[in-house]
Chain A
Amino acid sequence: MTDTAPNDKSRRTPHFVSQEPWDPYVADRLTKEQERYYMAGQWKLMWWRFRRHRPAVVSAVFLALMYLSTLVSEWIAPYDLHTRNSRYIFAAPQSVHLFHEGKFMGPFVYGLKMERDPATLQRIYSPDTSQPQPLRFFCLGERYEFWGLIEGRFHFVCPAEDGTFFLLGTDRLGRDMFSRIVYAARISLTIGLIGITLSFALALILGGLAGYYGGWVDSVVQRITEIIKSFPHLPLWLALSAALPVTWSPLLVYFGITLILALLDWPGLGRAVRSKLLSLREEDYAAAAQMMGAKPARIIGRHLLPGFMSHLIASATLSIPSMILAETALSFLGLGLRPPITSWGVLLNEATDINVVAVNWWLMLPVVPVILVILAYQFMGDGMRDAADPYA
């Protein structure tokens, strides 16, 4: 035990002076990694921060795919938006099989046999297992006009010749639900984007004016935002969209609805712009710009806005889902978009009668993409909000 005693001189480390040249700034010098981090721009840092938020990245990818799909809805949907298959009304979904009588024969569906229930006269569809209908891929099928411009027949999937392929069943006119959901994504997804753009612009202008000038401009804008914020949105939306003239074309109604959504949505963002501007305009660099004779538009746009743009974008993203939902709700209630413009809400409008839905459950399926998209936006918005301040 004695050899571990602290006073044992023989076990002390000998005196040692390194002969290596020593750089007194070694602690300050950055490694390659650190340098990359410290020199990275604001947006790059945000990207790195965002990438760490797994659910947000997955959601972003999902949303990107959804938006890409709206570019080529015509290719994805096996049928056109309005094709009526009068022989197959309220047909049940056809499931895709791989094996027919124990033999592998690639993806195929069984044809549908329709019978009427003798008592209720209800249509009952059952798969006709005697005749498999192999699906065709990358095929020529129903004619369509690509974005209403170029004629084409190319689809990713088509039913067999003289066959049917209703992946999610058909509605009361025999229109294919899957195709309709695919086409409706175009409207439902863009309405959120256009709406948020309008609302963003309104928020920047009005919030910017209020925050930069203060005084009576500020009080007026503040009163307006308070009134809008304190009033329940849905009834007001209903009233406004009921006020859209019936004579308007469906496309005009589409823009009308986006405008209405934006009109009630901007106060939240506008408040953020205002409060940020109020505090930022007191900063020295704003005063300096002012003294150098910069115009308000330049000071706001060039010097003040970039300081909190990332926050704004993040909160704007978080309010896209509420816009999509609002449109869905309005169309569901029959006061929103009108056919032939079709959104998920318009599709759900067919599901208002519970007695019809109880028999034809697939009419409720447009609920699924609505919920998925909203969840994805929520996650992505959360990730963006966390990333918006990468220095924190």
Chain B
Amino acid sequence: MLRFIARRVLLMIPTLFVISALVYFIIDLPPGDCVTSQIDELLARGDADAHRRAEELRELYGLNMPLWQRYLDWVGGIFRWDFGLSCQDTVPVADLIGERLTLTIIMETSTIAFIWIVSFLIGTYAATHQYRLGDYVASFIGFIGLAIPNFLLALVLLYVGKVYFGLSIGGLMDPEYIDKPLSWGKALSVMQHLIIPVIVIGMSGTAGMIRRLRANLLDELQKQYVVTGRAKGLPPMKLLVKYPLRHSLNPFVADIGGLLPDVISGSVIVSVVLSLPTTGPMLLGALKTQDVNLAATFLLFVATLTVIGMLISDLALAALDPRIRFGATSEK
């Protein structure tokens, strides 16, 4: 087991390095840099000093250095929690992203938790009540969840909330808590504001999970041992929980790998639509202004989150399923 963990962790490191390099180069790819747009503005206003100013800024941000050197500086800084300067208003990236990263992690973990709990309950119910009303309702909800793209759902909810209920759904906390230290009131306010984004982001994941759990459980419920157990007079609840349910839990854990990238993608776009103070809107802004350090930091963060999530899912799966722990490859 230890060797398994060690190997997985060691594999993570080169993966993250490859991703960080790729991301940094891609963002830097288009011609021009983040100073260009700022200087164009100055030039348009007829500022005579614009060119000198541009040189100063380039010097400050190190844009005169070759790309590989800037990349190495940036990567080297990461280990000291120093991500270089953001081009926008000359602030260290580390100061800009702190709270956003925390809120993003909170939002994504709650979404995963939401997906699990809801799909577990609904999926089990649908499988044990096959072809009843509840099953049809669950399937229908699942289908809608799969079909409606989450950012459009967010847009529609935003509209409905605004026009019919007169409330703005955007934001992740009440205005009075912004830039305030953490308190119970703030935490509560964040929780309230999280509900809608979590549902919107989790919708499609939940729908997929329900379908899979239902199918798995239905397969399992038809097996002979279940019939035997029932014939021997085992109470239905005990029969369900003791064997078939445990068996069909496996994909639940295994699927985090597929679920996590989706949830993160969803959270980026949904938080842009709902203008949540998470990484999404800032990443978009940074990409548009070619703020390389900021954008690359966000992307690396997202990648790290995914890779760690995958690691956890693999470990949990290994703990849960002896076939994987002992090296036999499972058919997927």
Instruction: Report A's interface with B, CB cutoff 8 A.
Output: 227, 229-236, 238-240, 242-247, 325, 328-329, 332-335, 348, 351-352, 354, 357-358, 361, 364, 367, 370-371, 374-375, 378
- Whether the Cβ atoms of B18 and A227 lie closer than 8 Å is yes
- Whether the Cβ atoms of B26 and A239 lie closer than 8 Å is yes
Nearest A residue to B265 by beta-carbon distance? Answer: A234
- Whether the Cβ atoms of B288 and A230 lie closer than 8 Å is no
Q: A231-B19, A235-B283, A354-B158 provided; 18 other pairs, C-beta below 8 A?
A: A227-B15, A227-B19, A230-B307, A231-B306, A232-B262, A232-B268, A234-B265, A234-B269, A235-B298, A239-B295, A246-B30, A334-B288, A348-B152, A348-B155, A351-B155, A354-B159, A361-B159, A375-B147
Residues in A neighbouring B30, C-beta threshold 8 A: 242-246
If the complex has contacts A328-B149, A358-B163, are A233 and B261 also in contact, measured as CB distance less than 8 A?
Answer: yes
If the complex has contacts A232-B306, A370-B149, are A333 and B272 also in contact, measured as CB distance less than 8 A?
Answer: yes
Residues in B neighbouring A240, C-beta threshold 8 A: 26
Q: Which of A231, A246, A352 has the most CB of B within 10 A?
A: A231
Per the CB 8 Å criterion, the residue count for chain B at the interface is: 47
Q: CB < 8 Å: which of A232, A352, A358, A371 contacts B302?
A: A232
If the complex has contacts A232-B268, A361-B159, A378-B147, are A242 and B287 also in contact, measured as CB distance less than 8 A?
Answer: yes
CA distance A28 to B18 in the complex (A): 64
- Whether the Cβ atoms of B162 and A243 lie closer than 8 Å is no
Q: CB < 8 Å: which of B152, B156, B163, B261 contacts A232?
A: B261
If the complex has contacts A243-B29, A247-B31, A374-B149, are A232 and B265 also in contact, measured as CB distance less than 8 A?
Answer: yes
- Whether the Cβ atoms of B299 and A239 lie closer than 8 Å is yes
If the complex has contacts A325-B149, A333-B269, A358-B162, are A238 and B155 also in contact, measured as CB distance less than 8 A?
Answer: no
Residues in A neighbouring B261, C-beta threshold 8 A: 229-233
Instruction: Report B's interface with A, CB cutoff 8 A.
Output: 15, 18-19, 23, 26-27, 29-31, 146-149, 151-152, 155-156, 158-159, 162-163, 168, 170, 257, 260-262, 264-266, 268-269, 272-273, 283-284, 287-288, 290, 295, 298-299, 302-303, 306-307, 310
Q: Would you give the shortest CB distance from A315 to chain B, in whole angstroms?
A: 15
If the complex has contacts A227-B19, A334-B288, A375-B147, are A233 and B156 also in contact, measured as CB distance less than 8 A?
Answer: no
Q: Which of A242, A367, A371 has the most CB of B within 10 A?
A: A242
Q: CB < 8 Å: which of A230, A247, A329 contacts B257?
A: A230
Residues in A neighbouring B306, C-beta threshold 8 A: 230-232
CA distance A229 to B151 in the complex (A): 21
CA distance A229 to B262 in the complex (A): 10
Residues in A neighbouring B149, C-beta threshold 8 A: 325, 328-329, 370-371, 374
CA distance A244 to B29 in the complex (A): 8
Nearest B residue to A359 by beta-carbon distance? Answer: B163
Nearest A residue to B25 by beta-carbon distance? Answer: A243
- Whether the Cβ atoms of A242 and B27 lie closer than 8 Å is yes
Number of residue pairs across A and B with beta carbons under 8 Å? 110
CA distance A370 to B19 in the complex (A): 32
Residues in B neighbouring A238, C-beta threshold 8 A: 268, 283-284, 287
Q: CB < 8 Å: which of B147, B268, B302 contacts A374?
A: B147
Nearest A residue to B14 by beta-carbon distance? Answer: A223
Nearest B residue to A239 by beta-carbon distance? Answer: B26
Q: Would you give the shortest CB distance from A217 to chain B, in whole angstroms?
A: 19
Q: CB < 8 Å: which of B27, B170, B299, B310 contacts A230?
A: B310
CA distance A370 to B151 in the complex (A): 12
Residues in B neighbouring A246, C-beta threshold 8 A: 30
Q: Would you give the shortest CB distance from A257 to chain B, in whole angstroms?
A: 14
Q: Which of A240, A325, A367, A370 has the most CB of B within 10 A?
A: A367
Residues in A neighbouring B257, C-beta threshold 8 A: 230
CA distance A370 to B148 in the complex (A): 9
If the complex has contacts A234-B265, A234-B269, are A364 and B27 also in contact, measured as CB distance less than 8 A?
Answer: no
Residues in B neighbouring A231, C-beta threshold 8 A: 19, 261, 302-303, 306
Nearest A residue to B298 by beta-carbon distance? Answer: A235
17 interchain pairs, CB-CB under 8 A: A229-B261, A230-B310, A231-B261, A233-B265, A234-B269, A235-B302, A236-B299, A240-B26, A243-B29, A246-B30, A247-B31, A328-B149, A329-B269, A333-B272, A334-B288, A354-B170, A367-B155
CA distance A352 to B272 in the complex (A): 9
Residues in B neighbouring A235, C-beta threshold 8 A: 264-265, 268, 283, 298-299, 302
Residues in B neighbouring A233, C-beta threshold 8 A: 261, 265
If the complex has contacts A328-B149, A374-B149, are A234 and B288 also in contact, measured as CB distance less than 8 A?
Answer: no
Residues in A neighbouring B152, C-beta threshold 8 A: 348, 367, 370-371
Residues in B neighbouring A364, C-beta threshold 8 A: 155-156, 159
CA distance A238 to B26 in the complex (A): 11
CA distance A353 to B89 in the complex (A): 25
CA distance A89 to B211 in the complex (A): 46
CA distance A147 to B206 in the complex (A): 43
Q: Would you give the shortest CB distance from A189 to chain B, in whole angstroms?
A: 16
